[in-house]
């Protein structure tokens, strides 16, 4: 099997290069044509979606895994056209190229396609209603993939973080080492999901695939707030010697931390269908955090 991973330098893309290796020949792409370790790879510029057709034709993959996206939620509000090129137009081009050669397209979407006013975890068929440009462009990307007739798996995920890249966990560890106290939003609810879990689950789904196309929710299990996540990060960092002391974490409201883009208040996704269809258990978010923190601790030993 030949697998083309777009976004190889991203936190999910990096983990995919590891997780997909047992399935066959894995080809990576980045915007620069170079992986972070200096290894040359294919070039893919999502700001020029029309160039992606030739990439798929030249590499001739059996599976395309699209882990590239515009993820700057606030910046999307001021640059909607750029966000749309990466999140909506590019997936459509990829889907058409996959349809032409009967390749499977794996595409990642987000909890931000929902309005965030729910009281139970969102299911795949619940009505969508994005609050901002980022969510709207990701939803448009989903629609473009479905419309092109390609075999596809759309995986909606949420609150993604990892031991590398730019994410909430790494921000908390950096800020926590510098400050005695900080405020973290406590009225946004969701499920922290590590990049390694997304990658491992994706590999399992591809290996388990029986030709079905559809949309699945791919997150860890359980629920917390950003405030609860921060407290768990600091507790584990202290226990593993990653911090000498932890800051006091005050619970604040979304209104006290205004941002250009509106965030969903409730972002939990129901992952039952994924676990059932692919026979892959999605662990509690606490277990996912434990694995990431252990990896960080190993790196510092």
Which sequence positions are flagged as catalytic?
Answer: 134
C-alpha span between 113 and 183 (Å, rounded):
27
Burial code of 2-40, b = ≥16 C-beta within 10 A, e = fewer?
A: ebbbbbbbbbbbbbbbebbeeeeebbbbbeeeebeeeee
Kindly list the distances between the CA atom of residue 275 and the CA atoms of 217, 218, 279, 283, in Å, as whole numbers in the listed order. Answer: 9, 9, 5, 10
Q: Give the 3-state secondary structure of the chain.
A: CEEEEECCCCHHHHHHHHHCHHHCEEEEEECCCECCCCCECEECCCCCHHHHHHHHHHHCCCEEEECCCCCCHHHHHHCHHHHHHHHHHHHHHHHHHHHHHCCEEEEEEEHHHCCCCCCCCECCCCCCCCCCHHHHHHHHHHHHHHHCCCCEEEEEECCEECCCCCCHHHHHHHHHHHCCEEEEECCCEECCEEHHHHHHHHHHHHHHCCCCCEEEECCCECCEEHHHHHHHHHHHHHHCCCCCCCCEEEEECHHHCCCCCCCCCECCECCHHHHHHHCCCCCEHHHHHHHHHHHHHHHHC
C-alpha span between 285 and 88 (Å, rounded):
29
């Amino acid at each position: 099997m030949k697998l083309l991973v777009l976004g190889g330098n991203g936190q999910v893309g990096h983990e995919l290069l590891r997780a997909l290796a047992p399935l066959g020949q894995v080809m990576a792409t980045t915007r620069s044509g170079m992986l972070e370790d200096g290894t040359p790879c294919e070039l893919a510029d999502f700001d020029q979606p029309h160039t992606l057709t030739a990439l798929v034709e030249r590499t001739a993959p059996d599976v395309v895994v699209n882990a590239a996206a515009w993820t700057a939620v606030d910046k999307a509000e001021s640059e909607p056209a750029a966000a749309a090129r990466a999140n909506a137009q590019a997936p459509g081009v990829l889907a058409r190229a996959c349809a032409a050669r009967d390749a499977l397209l794996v595409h990642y979407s987000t909890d931000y396609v929902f309005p965030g006013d729910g009281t139970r975890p969102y299911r795949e068929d619940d009505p969508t209603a994005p609050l901002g440009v980022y969510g709207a462009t990701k939803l448009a990307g989903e629609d473009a993939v479905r419309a092109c007739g390609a075999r596809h798996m759309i995986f909606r995920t949420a609150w993604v973080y990892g031991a590398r890249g730019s994410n909430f966990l790494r921000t908390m560890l950096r800020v926590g080492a510098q400050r005695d106290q900080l405020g973290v939003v406590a009225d946004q609810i969701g499920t922290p999901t590590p990049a390694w879990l997304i990658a491992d689950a994706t590999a399992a789904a591809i290996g388990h695939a029986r030709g079905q196309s559809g949309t699945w929710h791919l997150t860890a299990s359980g629920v917390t707030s950003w405030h609860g996540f921060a407290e768990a990060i600091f507790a584990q960092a202290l226990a593993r010697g990653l911090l000498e002391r932890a800051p006091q974490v005050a619970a604040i409201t979304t209104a006290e931390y205004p941002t250009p883009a509106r965030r969903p208040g409730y972002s939990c996704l129901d992952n039952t269908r994924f676990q059932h269809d692919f026979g892959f258990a999605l662990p509690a978010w606490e277990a996912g955090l434990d694995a990431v923190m252990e990896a960080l601790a190993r790196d510092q030993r």
